[in-house]
């Protein structure tokens, strides 16, 4: 099998794919980019490993249920969005393999057989695989949110790309919920412009700049807390020497914000 690319997806807000009648005009471009991913990848992965911004643990943790439940980790949405079912299978075998890879690389990891799919996973994956026929395992962030630790974990996951596993970091390139409107426009455009420029740099310089992301223009305005950025570190680490491309970008998301997704390889 070909070496699969990795992705960092700016996954949008809440359960948007299940509200397209109401919000489709806001999400048409993101929806189209996600639906195009199977064509870009060219094969059906054996499984998807999603590093989700919506799960943090003391140690890196993997969802290991064969049939993960749902987690409705949002509020204020229509009643039907709390009954959504995305019934992709899990993969206990992949979860155990990832645990072994991380521990062999010096990062303690554990399995969580109860963890369900959060909206960073099911809202991102539903447009990609609407039939829910590709197994999905979630990987948590590690508390402390150390960018170098997440980059190192990505490096340890790189062999999975040759085994048919699609590695997806699910977050947002801009995530300041107190300024998720015109108030955040300047910060989102400054940070997003920096991020896209960094992605075009040679690999070694690109990695160094991303590890020092707090020095970027408007960094802490764009990410008051960096949990939605760190899935990018894992996706990059797993494809550190590969060129980056932009499968999705908007300059006026929610009317005024700049957001971007990246593909490596």
Written out in words, the top-level CATH class of the domain with range 6-175+225-264 is: alpha beta
Q: Residue 42 contacts by C-beta under 8 Å, 6 or more apart in sequence?
A: 2
φ, ψ for residue 88 (rounded to 5)? -65, 145
Tell me, what's the pLDDT at 231? Answer: 98
The helix (H) or strand (E) run that includes residue 214 is none
Number of Cα atoms under 13 Å in the Cβ half of residue 235: 32
Of 154, 138, 136, whose CA–CA distance to 44 is shortest? 136
Of 166, 170, 190, whose CA–CA distance to 179 is shortest? 190
Tell me, what's the pLDDT at 1? Answer: 58
pLDDT tens, residue by residue, 174-211: 999 887 888 889 999 999 999 999 999 999 999 999 99
The helix (H) or strand (E) run that includes residue 260 is strand 257-264
Tell me, what's the pLDDT at 182? Answer: 83
Tell me the sheet residues that pair with 25. Answer: none
φ, ψ for residue 50 (rounded to 5)? -105, 120
Q: Residue 217 has which token pair?
A: 């223009």
Tell me, what's the pLDDT at 194? Answer: 98
Q: Domain-by-domain residue ranges, the chain?
A: 6-175+225-264
**Dihedral of CA 140/252/79/86: which sign?**
negative
Tell me, what's the pLDDT at 238? Answer: 98
Residue ranges of the chain whose pLDDT lies below 50: none
């Amino acid at each position: 099998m070909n070496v699969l690319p990795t992705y960092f997806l700016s996954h949008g807000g809440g359960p948007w794919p299940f509200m397209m009648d109401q919000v489709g005009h806001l999400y048409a471009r993101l929806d189209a980019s996600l639906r195009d991913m199977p064509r870009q990848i060219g094969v059906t992965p054996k499984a998807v490993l999603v590093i989700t911004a919506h799960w943090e643990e003391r140690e890196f943790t993997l969802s290991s249920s064969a049939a993960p439940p749902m987690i409705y980790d949002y509020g204020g949405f229509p009643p039907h969005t709390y009954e959504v079912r995305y019934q992709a299978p899990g993969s206990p075998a992949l979860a155990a393999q990832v645990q072994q890879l991380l521990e062999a690389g010096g990062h303690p990891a554990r399995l969580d057989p109860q963890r369900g799919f959060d909206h960073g996973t099911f809202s991102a994956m539903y447009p990609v695989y609407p039939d829910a026929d590709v197994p999905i395992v979630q990987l948590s962030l590690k508390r402390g949110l150390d960018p170098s630790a997440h980059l190192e974990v990505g490096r340890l996951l790189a062999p999975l790309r040759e085994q048919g596993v699609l590695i997806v970091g699910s977050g947002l390139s801009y995530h300041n919920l107190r300024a998720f409107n015109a108030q955040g426009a300047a910060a989102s455009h400054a940070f997003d412009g920096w991020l896209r420029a960094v992605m075009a740099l040679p690999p070694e310089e690109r990695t160094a700049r991303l590890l020092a992301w707090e020095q970027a223009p408007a960094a802490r305005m764009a990410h008051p807390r960096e949990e939605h950025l760190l899935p990018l570190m894992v996706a990059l680490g797993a494809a550190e020497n590969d060129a980056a491309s932009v499968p999705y970008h908007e300059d006026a998301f929610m009317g005024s914000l700049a957001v971007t997704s990246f593909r490596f390889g």
